[in-house]
Structure 1
Amino acid sequence: MYQFGWFSTGRGKGSRELFKTVLDGIASGQIKNARISYVFCSREPGESPETDRFIELVKNSGVPIVCFSYQKFKGDRPDNDVDEPLPEWRLQYDRHVMELLKDYNCDLCVLAGYMLIVGKEMCKKYNMLNLHPAAPGGPKGTWREVIWQLIDTKAKETGVMMHMVTPELDKGPVVSYCRFPINGRYFDAHWQAVEGMTADEIK
């Protein structure tokens, strides 16, 4: 049986829907001979109402869940720039995660709303697939960051992709992707409303 590890920060409805969709796909046989062997969440109960809903959903599904708070581990340390190498303390967080997960088996880890950059040691240990809200060569970062970059560049199209995780943010080998336009009847009025404005001005 093919086993998935599921990594998420559980920040919102999208994280819950992704998890439920895969569970339903396994139950219906659309995803054959597979199971989610565990979920790892980078928040703990009580940190966020949205994450608490995600944790409750996972527990109710019967899938084992392991939680380890990134924010508590981080403490007062500043966030590092996404284009800079991860500092030692950040790599240490990944090491703690790997220690917590050592008794679980998986063939592929799926990053579905996991809001942390994965360090090189974790990349070497696991096969990891990331869901990214932009097409190959498109903006990096979270879906919100991607949207602001698309607005700033007055993009005419965008996309989504699944790619293998490497230490370089959102630049691993592409597994699958699609592109779609963001102009035309459903978008033109929105573009006109922000014409001549930067993303910072809109914010």
Structure 2
Amino acid sequence: MKMSKKKSVGWLSTGNGEGSLGLLKKGIELVNENKIEIKYIFTNRESGEKKGSDRFIDFAKSNNIKVISYSSQKYKKIKNSDWKNLRKSYDQEVLKKINPFKVDFIVAAGYMLFSPIICQHYKILNIHPALPNGPKGTWKTVIKELIKKESKFSGVSLHLMTPDLDEGPNLSFCKFSINDNNLHEYWEDAKKCPNSIEETKLFKKIREIIVKNERNLLLETLDKISSNEIDIDKPNQYDLSDSF
């Protein structure tokens, strides 16, 4: 049997906290299994900016992965302009830094910047903390909407990034319950605090569930891409709910 070529991957991440670090750890699991190669990690933070990103950068380096740091905060300060006016020019600078590394695709995992230019040059897999037809926006926005609508189920998905935020073709997803008997007490408590949803135990619990499933979905999807079970050139919205 002909062996499939090991996929070369670029990685975009702000590395802000445990979520980003957990996703990277899943990627490194596949590196250690010789299924993918992470050519570089690009982060829009530099060492010394935040404790979370410092941990992320140190962890990546300890696993012998090339780290490219280019501070978006410093870029904004130097240019002295609103970020909406700088997004495209910053992307152009990022491209100059990552173009020397030849990769099959890029994973955006905990990357806090939208990349309308980069995604026109590379296939970028983006993690979204909801089902393909679910709420749009950040994870905080998603969870608040799920709670307000008293949703029974949610999920996470991986799609190809396009210049239209959260609108790219879906590669894979998983679905899970957020309103079963185990969470009944959390839901009842949340109903007492309609104006402070983010402070509720339910909000934090749903976040935990989403983070766990994001990591597992990324691992399973990258694994299946590495074995050619999923073709990123032919997105087909694979349901991986039963894979983990």
TMscore range, shorter length: 0.7 to 0.9
Structure 1: where are the runs of 5+ without partners? Answer: 80-86
What whole-Å deviation, never above 9, does each CA across 1:36-93 have from its counterpart, x for those lacking one?
A: 00000011111110100000011111111101111222236445xxxxxxx4421101
Aligned-partner Cα distance in 1 for 2:126–2:49: 24
> Which stretch shifts more, 189-198 or 39-48?
189-198
For the residues of structure 2 that align with 1:20 and 1:126, how far apart are their CA atoms?
A: 23
Which structure has greater helix proportion? Answer: 2
Match of 2:169 in 1: 173
Number of equivalences: 192
Report SS of the residue matched to 1:187: helix
Tell me the SS of whatever aligns to 2:111.
coil
Aligned to 1:72: 74
Of the structure 1 ranges 177-186 and 41-50, higher mean CA displacement relative to structure 2 is found in 177-186
- Aligned counterpart for 2:26 among listed residues 21, 30, 54: 21
The TM-score with structure 1 as length reference comes to 0.87
Distance 2:66 2:10 in 1: 10
Query: Within the alignment, does 1:54 sit opposite 2:50 as a pair?
Result: no
Q: Cα distance, 1:196 vs. partner?
A: 5.6
Give the fraction of aligned pairs with identical amino acids, expressed as a percent: 38
The CA deviation string for residues 139-198 of structure 1, in whole angstroms up to 9 with x for no partner, is 222222221221222222110001000111111100001111211222111111121643
Is 1:194 aligned to residue 190 of structure 2?
yes
Q: Which residue is equivalent to 2:107?
A: 110
- Mapped contact 1:7–1:110 kept (Cα < 8 A): yes
Q: Which residue of 2 aligns with 1:183?
A: 179
User: TM-score with structure 2 length normalisation?
Assistant: 0.73
| RMSD of aligned residue pairs (Cα, Å) | 1.8
Shift of the alpha carbon at 1:106? 0.8
Kindly report which structure 2 residues correspond to 1:33-182, keeping only aligned pairs within 5 A, or say none.
34-75=36-77, 77-78=81-82, 87-119=84-116, 121-182=117-178
Compute the displacement of 1:201 (Å).
5.9
Distance 2:11 2:127 in 1: 12
- Judged with a 3 Å threshold, the aligned counterparts in structure 2 of structure 1 residues 72 and 163 are, in CA distance, closer, same or farther, namely same
Q: Deviations over 1:3-62 (max 9, x none)?
A: 000000001112112112221222124xx3x20000000111111101000000111111
Gaps of 5+ in 2: 1-5, 200-244
Which one-letter code corresponds to 1:127 in the other structure? K
Give yes or no for contact 1:8–1:41 (8 Å, CA) kept in 2. yes
